[in-house]
Structure 1
Amino acid sequence: MSRADAESGDEPNRHGWRLRARMRYLYHGSSPAAVRFRLAVIVVDFAIIGFFLAAPILREAGWAFYVADIVVALVLAADMTARALAYTDIKDWLKKPSTWIDLFILATLMLPYWLYNFGFLRMLRLWTLLSSDFFWRTVGRRFDDTRVEEVTRALAALATFVFVATGFVYATFRARHEDLHGYLDALYFTVATLTTTGFGDITLPGNWGRVLSIIIMLTGITLFLRLAQTIVRPHKVRFPCPVCGLQKHDPDAVHCKACGETLCIPDEGNH
């Protein structure tokens, strides 16, 4: 093989490495341009989540909804492809639970007729976004303490559960309950059950309806308690111990509680 043929064969590899390097720079870099790019991606993510939230109502628009569905699917596919290219080891990326959640969400977008009843799981995108390092490296990089991050994660878990449960109730019981006319009725039932208010004007029929109501109540109480704990928990800062790796310490800690190593936590006033 001639030298020219070898160089031409290496050209696609060079382009591939350049593309991966570019994606790695944008998705993991700390420069202002990379941060602005990630902020734009996050804004698009929130727009997609808004579309998922409004999907039960927008579905009545007919073919226009399915066109929007495909557009969102293409955007999500492009984002996931870029994230995979930016990751050092794609096999490790595929091992992440959030990756499989996003892949399933993409499947519901690409196959809306076959996976229609699983559309309520699309709201898991809210949890995967607000729990991701990608989000906190971009939006939360100014926070030295973990309070804002923990409260946001707890709120994301609670909000995600509310909308996923609402979507499940709407998709499963809409045709079997005379008082469950629309998505708002399903949301009303979910919130009333989750808060154990129990007005009783909308109740799910059958044993499975009772089981689902119990699950919503127990899970809701657990998530509310978790949120309350993150709010009242003593203030902590993220400062990894150089010896044992403990991530969180009191702001005025001098020694690590786990191993006793001397710490030098930067004063917030010096940032």
Structure 2
Amino acid sequence: MNKQEDKPVNGDRADRKAGFAGLRSRLRLLYHSQSPVAQRFQAAVLIVDLAIIAFFIATPLLRENEAFLWIDYSIAALLLADLVARALASTDILRWLRQMPIIIDIFILATLLAPTWLVNLGFLRILRLWTLTRTSTFWRPLKKRRLGLYQEPIQAVINLLVFLFVVTGFVYTSFANRGDEPSIAGYVDALYFTVATVTTTGFGDITLPGTSGKLASIVIMIIGISLFVRLAQAIFRPAKVHFPCPQCGLQKHDPDAVHCKACGHILNIPDSGGH
């Protein structure tokens, strides 16, 4: 009897393992393959991600809305489902968990699950835009529309936008309504101060109070100038394609290059259509 009972149990375990392996295989195909079904799935995920980012940007203006917490927890559920699915789709979950974009996404999930406890760190949610641009899902549609050559300028613009909104959230959280006559009374004031400081326009009508405010302004200006220089370089520097030279390993070349400029090896760079 015991042997007969063990057979169905072992069979059920084998079925569950096979089902779990099949689920991981399907998720891997959906997230990483180029099939029409996978492309539609990836496009849907990208649209949801962009909608979530729009919510993060508008959060300071929506926080007083009665439906805010419902939206917040709904987005937390979506982000949790996406993280679990991506973890199952990875070949090495522990290695996947150690990646910086994933660590940031987990932190963002924590701010969504505890919005009242981590309210002062909620402005870091906009980093989701930065983590999104570290995935192939974001760039694949652009490359198909021959925008892959502009990946560096687009990434530079996104980095600058993420920095602006992170700093704006920090300024609003840390310095709004401080003092008897606060310079920063709302989110728009914080955004105005950030843009004026980053561009070194410095109108002076809005300033951060105290020594900590001056130090924060110095850091914002230094990092902001660096990002602007990076953006200018990405825009005005000739476009390059990522194609490692098989001879010397040089990573980037001109789109129409025939020979590697470092070693002279003959290249066979695919065109934007993949031929």
Fold-level similarity (TM above 0.5): yes
Residue 192 of structure 1 contacts residue 199 of structure 1 at CA under 8 Å; is this kept in 2?
yes
Q: Over residues 174-205 of structure 1, what are the superposed CA-to-partner deviations in whole Å (9 max), with x where a residue is unaligned?
A: 13152311111100010011111111111001
Letter in 2 for 1:151: P
Among candidates 28, 39, 55, match of residue 35 of structure 1? 39
Aligned twin of 2:165: 163
Residue 147 of structure 1 contacts residue 230 of structure 1 at CA under 8 Å; is this kept in 2?
no
Aligned-CA RMSD value: 1.8
Instruction: Give the % identical residues.
Output: 55
Cα separation, partners in 2 of 1:183 and 1:142, compared to 1, 3 Å: same
Q: Name stretches of at least 5 consecutive residues in structure 1 with no aligned partner.
A: none
Q: Over residues 211-244 of structure 1, what are the superposed CA-to-partner deviations in whole Å (9 max), with x where a residue is unaligned?
A: 1111111111111110110111112222222234
CA distance in 1, matches of 2:274, 2:97: 40
Q: Over residues 146-165 of structure 1, what are the superposed CA-to-partner deviations in whole Å (9 max), with x where a residue is unaligned?
A: 53111111011000000000
CA distance in 2, matches of 1:226, 1:112: 34
Cα separation, partners in 2 of 1:270 and 1:121, compared to 1, 3 Å: closer
Aligned twin of 1:212: 216
Q: Which consecutive segments of 4 or more residues in structure 1 shift more than 6 A?
A: none
Among candidates 123, 140, 143, match of residue 141 of structure 1? 143
Q: Name stretches of at least 5 consecutive residues in structure 2 with no aligned partner.
A: none
Letter in 2 for 1:40: A
Residue correspondences, number: 269
Cα separation, partners in 2 of 1:246 and 1:133, compared to 1, 3 Å: farther
Superposition pairs of residues 1-271 of structure 1, within 5 angstroms: 1=3, 2-62=6-66, 64-136=67-139, 138-142=140-144, 146-177=148-179, 178-267=182-271, 271=275
CA distance in 2, matches of 1:270, 1:22: 25
TM-score by length of 1: 0.93
CA distance in 2, matches of 1:29, 1:153: 23
Once structures 1 and 2 are overlaid, which stretch shifts more, 17-26 or 139-148? 139-148
Residue 177 of structure 2 contacts residue 183 of structure 2 at CA under 8 Å; is this kept in 1?
no
Once structures 1 and 2 are overlaid, which stretch shifts more, 230-239 or 89-98? 230-239
